[in-house]
Structure 1
Amino acid sequence: MADLEGARSKLVQNFRDNSNAAAYRSDRHDLVAKEHSHAWDAPARKHASSAEIKAQRILTTIRERERVDPNLFGNLPGEALPAEGSLDMGGRFLVNLPRINKSDVFKIVRQMPKGAHQHLHFNSEIDPEYLFPLARELVPDTMFIRSTHPLVTESDFELAEIVFQVLPRQTKSADIFSAQYSPDWRDESNTSWMLWQDFRRSFLSHIEGVKLEKYIESLDPAEMWAREKMIITKQNAYHSRQTHNGAWACFNQGTRALKGLLGYETAYRWYIGHMIDNMIKDKVMYAEVRPMLMDKTLPTDDGNGALDHKAQMAILVEEVQRKTAELEAAGRLHQFPFGVKVIYCTPRSIPLEKMKTELEDCLALKLQFPNLICGFDLVGAEDRPNSIGYYADLLTALTKTCKQLDIQIPFMFHAGETLLDTGGSSNPDNSNLYDALLLNAKRIGHGYALLKHPLLVEKYKEHNICLELCPISNELLHLCGNVREHPYPQLLAAGLHCTLNADNPSLFRGAEGSGASLSYEFYQVLVGDPRMSIHGCKQLAEWSLEHSCLSGEEVAKAKAIYAQEWEAFCQWVVKTYGEVADARDEDSGSMELS
């Protein structure tokens, strides 16, 4: 055995000799540099302009300053206990939202060009507080409400689900506030609809004990109560008994209620133009929206007429053209030059015969509107039946038919938006991620569970399948606790092409989020992982254009417009916040943060 004193002497001597340590530090520096050169955003960093490099340093400086700012997040490093009132930057979205809205990082992100919006459910871009006044003005005598409970006790108001629908004026109106009210709409002898105008008039005399989260000046108490049925609030998102299935129930309730509130002719027309205005405000230049098209008609304002799919798509084309002409006349066409395309959506829960009809309707719309219909998707919670594979025979038949007709309806499946990843069964082999690959999906929605499949990760890269990430949606549906727990850094590090998307923003934001759907998503990924940079944001936006359904010529034009907008944005950051970086340079000896 070696002499103990001799061993200690050698250790002390080696402490003094730093040659090994110097080699270690050199090797470590080389290792980190090599990883940076192989990172997913390396091409964007390599081609960054001087303005972009300085904008990155500015953004990093502001982000770290806001992390410790006691008026924002107050997260001081090394504290044994967090200060009173501090919050985690990148913590729960709805809890942080008031502070996010005061953040300079968020103000910068709002100005950031974001490319294309690939994953946006059609009826979820405009917040409900804008739809209630519209209903008051346009359909006071034909907008009706139905409830799953008579509204008698305080718990009735809490538990009831509601839906809206425009019906003929002569429809008999029920009294939802009566204990005798029956919600059974399938009973032909029963009346379950109450005129919304009558409901609003009666509401105040029945709401003792009913708690509303807050008031919005433009809405009356009945509208405020209904609004809370349509949005994900802090209470229903984060309360101690909430579950993944419970969060989905809130989401489904909100989408059902929203559908009728905008589901009539004039609101539908109004909505399209305002949706585009919202996107322009959010620095989005193109969108592929997902309407649920299993409902085959949309009522006219008087409730007596019905617009079929062809009429609805014709209105969409007409309103997009109207907005395009308006932008061109104002010299602003570069802000939204390619309009909107439609991904046909239907639920994954329907029987095979119904799915056959849906595919036939999708094909018919594609032939009638070849430049509008750009894809097909199955929607709904993946932890419930059915898997994509259940419909494989029908879906492969659609693919073969499209090939014979020389048209394209690529699949854009929701896949991997799940913790179980078993395709609505108990068998992991039923994962929808297998079917999305085998059915040659162009993109998949979410892809949250993809890292469970190392082979599929490589296959998705090989087949150039893009992931439509929706981090805030994933948090609020309880796939993760907050954005810092989201796998987006690992998905990107694995070499997968990804984009950022808002999914159902009107359900998730409320009034504070109007016109900022994608801005919140970009903010969240920027503060959720310190590795995310302004260069990474540019790469995500460029991928959103490359993986869109625009033609090759249109993609080239879009990327040229985007490059100009991006450089102007970086110069704006430098001009507006340049003194921040200059001050940091003086304090840190010109530390390079990019």
Structure 2
Amino acid sequence: MNAASNDKAKCSRHGDSDCDKAAAREVIKAHDSEIDRRRQGNGDGDRARDGTYGLPLNSNAIGSIPDVADYEKLRAKVVSREDELSFDARYRSRASDMERRVDEIIRNVRKEDEVLFSGQVPRKGYHGQLHPRFAGDHFLSNVDLIDETGLFKIASMMPKGAHLHNHFNACLPPHVLLDIAKGMDRMFITSNLPLICKGEGEDKFENFDKCEIQFSIMSPDKEDAGDLFSPRYQSRQTMKFSEFLNRFPTYYTRADVGTDGKTKADKWLLHKLLFQEEEAYDHLQTASG
């Protein structure tokens, strides 16, 4: 019988608990080995947050923890080990006084932001259910408060390079993006549905409501010309954005965008570009739409 089979036999005789303990001991040994290696190379540079090191854990103690206090001590040692092995352990231990001060300020600001959220009137959810406000809620559920938070004010003053990642079209108001797009000669617009009206009634503008609009800058050889306002339009065929703007008011006559032909397309596109809370988090919403 090989070692793996022997281990399985022991598990079947003594239950999963003994196997879990053995596995935990192996993990602890691996942690201790890595911690020892780091200490030898860096002195006390990898000290954990509480200033302690993960000391070797007596394997006999795992199965005989007499009370809660002893359990907490053992748990603290395990957490300390994990802390020393975390990706930011070196940076925390080597942080300058200024960096530590900044970290303290930001932590305090976040606490103040928590108070800001908890002090708000609960928002109404599905069937009128009341939901207390909290900082970790969905973005669109909190967008009315985010501008008021201290953390947002700090982020707004940071240099661009300090942000981890931000798409260009997430940084600017949509009307600014549309104005930029209007000035681009090679800007094209596409849809997955033809923008045509269907008879009369509430479903007349169904395609306008359900379509997925995309913008693309294309070279002439990439064009796949199509008429978005034709029943024969094929999904993702391209139309010059300038042509779309000129023709849109003729085909979309719903009153929700007003009567000014020059702004109809803008208002409709802004509505398509901005997600509403109900659209993103509705109880019928799925990952696919």
The answer for the alignment partner of 2:110 in structure 1 is: 63
Match for 2:151: what amino acid? V
SS at match of 2:285: coil
1:44 correspondence with 2:95: no
The answer for the alignment partner of 2:206 in structure 1 is: 155
Give 1:242 shift: 1.8
Q: Map residues 282-293 of structure 1 onto 2, 5 A cutoff.
A: none
| Separation of aligned partners in 1, 2:231 and 2:67 | 82
The answer for the alignment partner of 2:126 in structure 1 is: none
Match for 2:207: what amino acid? D
CA contact (8 A) 1:173 1:195 kept: no
Give 1:206 shift: 0.6
- Alpha-carbon displacement from aligned partner over 1:90-143 (angstroms, at most 9, x marks no partner): 121221222222110222234456758887778776554223223445659x97
The 3 A distance-change label for structure 1 pair 114 and 40 is farther
Whichever of the two has the greater Rg, that structure is: 2
CA contact (8 A) 2:189 2:215 kept: yes
| Separation of aligned partners in 1, 2:234 and 2:77 | 70
Greater helix percent: which structure? 2
The answer for the alignment partner of 1:196 in structure 2 is: 244
The 3 A distance-change label for structure 1 pair 29 and 74 is farther
SS at match of 2:132: coil
| Separation of aligned partners in 1, 2:153 and 2:245 | 40
The 3 A distance-change label for structure 1 pair 200 and 51 is same
Q: Structure 1 unaligned runs (5+)?
A: 1-18, 76-82, 213-218, 247-594
| Separation of aligned partners in 1, 2:89 and 2:226 | 63
Q: Map residues 194-273 of structure 1 onto 2, 5 A cutoff.
A: 195-202=243-250, 206-208=253-255, 210=256, 220-246=263-289
The answer for the alignment partner of 2:201 in structure 1 is: none
Give 1:46 shift: 0.3
Match for 1:222: what amino acid? A
SS at match of 2:195: coil
Q: Structure 2 unaligned runs (5+)?
A: 1-65, 123-128, 199-203
Q: Map residues 548-587 of structure 1 onto 2, 5 A cutoff.
A: none
The 3 A distance-change label for structure 1 pair 182 and 240 is same
Give 1:158 shift: 0.9
1:54 correspondence with 2:123: no
CA contact (8 A) 2:141 2:277 kept: yes
The 3 A distance-change label for structure 1 pair 60 and 194 is closer
Q: Map residues 276-287 of structure 1 onto 2, 5 A cutoff.
A: none
- Alpha-carbon displacement from aligned partner over 1:302-341 (angstroms, at most 9, x marks no partner): xxxxxxxxxxxxxxxxxxxxxxxxxxxxxxxxxxxxxxxx
| Separation of aligned partners in 2, 1:46 and 1:71 | 33
Higher relative contact order (CA closer than 8 Å, sequence separation 6+): 1
Alignment coverage as a number of residue pairs: 201
CA contact (8 A) 1:143 1:164 kept: yes
SS at match of 2:284: coil
Match for 1:41: what amino acid? D
The 3 A distance-change label for structure 1 pair 135 and 123 is closer
| Separation of aligned partners in 2, 1:166 and 1:25 | 60
SS at match of 2:209: helix
SS at match of 1:134: helix
Q: Map residues 276-315 of structure 1 onto 2, 5 A cutoff.
A: none
The 3 A distance-change label for structure 1 pair 155 and 25 is closer
The 3 A distance-change label for structure 1 pair 30 and 163 is closer
The 3 A distance-change label for structure 1 pair 20 and 226 is closer
Q: Map residues 99-118 of structure 1 onto 2, 5 A cutoff.
A: 99-112=145-158
Match for 2:142: what amino acid? N
| Separation of aligned partners in 2, 1:85 and 1:72 | 12
In the superposition, the TM-score normalised over structure 2's length comes to: 0.51
What's the RMSD between the two structures over aligned residues?
A: 4.7
| Separation of aligned partners in 2, 1:129 and 1:34 | 51
CA contact (8 A) 1:149 1:161 kept: no
SS at match of 1:242: coil
Q: Map residues 286-435 of structure 1 onto 2, 5 A cutoff.
A: none
In the superposition, the TM-score normalised over structure 1's length comes to: 0.27
- Alpha-carbon displacement from aligned partner over 1:415-435 (angstroms, at most 9, x marks no partner): xxxxxxxxxxxxxxxxxxxxx
Match for 2:155: what amino acid? V
Match for 1:130: what amino acid? V
